[in-house]
């Protein structure tokens, strides 16, 4: 049960947080970015979460 929680929720959440904070660091570094950049960072992190979650779900179904 613990492995399923880690695979289904925790690992994708970690990857999306890494992507989100990485993009936020880039946005802060280049201070003159467009105001939409923060929205794009949030959208990208959500997409990474969905991508990693679906990949892990497919791997668990195949095995």
6 vs 33: CA distance, rounded Å: 35
The answer to whether 38 and 27 are in contact (CB under 8 A) is yes
48 vs 25: CA distance, rounded Å: 17
Q: What is the pLDDT along the chain (63 residues), one digit of tens a residue?
A: 566 666 667 778 888 888 888 888 887 777 776 777 778 888 888 888 888 888 877 777 776
4 vs 59: CA distance, rounded Å: 12
63 vs 61: CA distance, rounded Å: 6
Closest CA to 46 of 11, 3, 8, 15: 15
The pTM of this model reads: 0.67
């Amino acid at each position: 049960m613990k492995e399923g929680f880690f695979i289904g929720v925790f690992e994708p959440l970690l990857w999306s947080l890494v992507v989100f904070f990485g993009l936020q660091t880039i946005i802060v570094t280049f201070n003159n970015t467009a105001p939409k950049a923060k929205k794009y960072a949030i959208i990208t992190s959500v997409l990474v979460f969905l991508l990693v979650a679906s990949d892990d779900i497919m791997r668990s179904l195949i095995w």
